[in-house]
Amino acid sequence: MPHDTPAHKRILIKLSGEALMGDDAFGINQAVIGRIVGEIAEVARMGVQVAVVIGGGNIFRGMAGGAVGMDRATADYMGMLATVMNALALADAMNKTGLTARVMSAISIDQVVEPYVRPKALQYLEEGKAVVFAAGTGNPFFTTDTAAALRGAEIGAELVLKATKVDGVYSADPRKDAQATRYARLSFDEAMTKNLGIMDATAFALCRDQKLPIKVFSIFKPGALKAVVMGADEGTLVHV
């Protein structure tokens, strides 16, 4: 395989809302979102089809006090709306870089974003557009990790990329243990036995059952996303 040929044609990136905050307490840091979008646009220009599932923790964090004591389902629907706001911001930044993006929501907000329809999402990806999936699965009690696993399986992604603040999965917290070592590869069974908490149990089981590998990497490390799609030893690969 030529060194400039991507190892993966279609990927799904699971991006937490907190990744958009930078050093802010909550909300969206424009410098951070611009840097992340720059990394995504670079791999898209290489011909990689990119889908993103975005979380909403950065927006919802600003409302956390008001959510105390709230019914769980109601709070989860509020969280879904937060993901829609993040998805709109992400798509706007993508469009400004020249990468055409479409936001698709699991809940109906027709005046703002189009509903998620699998054939339409596949069409956008084939056309070279980035697709940002918002509102999780559209159901309370399910995390955006589960939405990433579900959408990844539905669109036939070759890899789910869990974008984090650390450059992989470690034997211990590297911020607290200088002896912690990064795993280059793990099987799903090994990750479960070691209780590494890579994704929530539902998402993890779905990826395992669908034989959909997960790559954990740092979205803040320059060039890391490109290295992952090129098949380099970057981050941690979790596989069957």
Report whether 16 belongs to an annotated binding site.
Answer: yes
Distance CA(141)–CA(173), nearest Å, equals 28
Report whether 129 belongs to an annotated binding site.
Answer: no
Report whether 57 belongs to an annotated binding site.
Answer: yes
Report whether 79 belongs to an annotated binding site.
Answer: no
Report whether 2 belongs to an annotated binding site.
Answer: no
Residue 143 exposure: Cα atoms within 13 Å on the Cβ side: 15
Report whether 200 belongs to an annotated binding site.
Answer: no
Report whether 152 belongs to an annotated binding site.
Answer: no
Report whether 56 belongs to an annotated binding site.
Answer: yes
Report whether 66 belongs to an annotated binding site.
Answer: no
Report whether 14 belongs to an annotated binding site.
Answer: yes
Report whether 137 belongs to an annotated binding site.
Answer: yes
Report whether 138 belongs to an annotated binding site.
Answer: yes
Report whether 236 belongs to an annotated binding site.
Answer: no
Report whether 164 belongs to an annotated binding site.
Answer: yes
Report whether 45 belongs to an annotated binding site.
Answer: no
Report whether 144 belongs to an annotated binding site.
Answer: yes
> Following DSSP, what letter does each residue of the chain receive, concatenated?
--TTS-S-SEEEEEE-GGGGTTTSSSS--HHHHHHHHHHHHHHHTTT-EEEEEE--HHHHGGGHHHHTT--HHHHHHHHHHHHHHHHHHHHHHHHHTT--EEEEESS--TTTSEEP-HHHHHHHHHTT-EEEEESTTSSTT--HHHHHHHHHHHHT-SEEEEEESSSSEESS-TTT-TT--EESEEEHHHHHHTT--SS-HHHHHHHHHTT--EEEEETTSTTHHHHHHTT-S-SEEEE-
* Binding positions for UMP: 56, 76, 137-144
Instruction: Give the residue numbers of the binding site.
Output: 14-17, 56-57, 61, 76, 137-144, 164, 170, 173
- Which amino acids are annotated as binding site for ATP, given as ranges? 14-17, 57, 61, 164, 170, 173
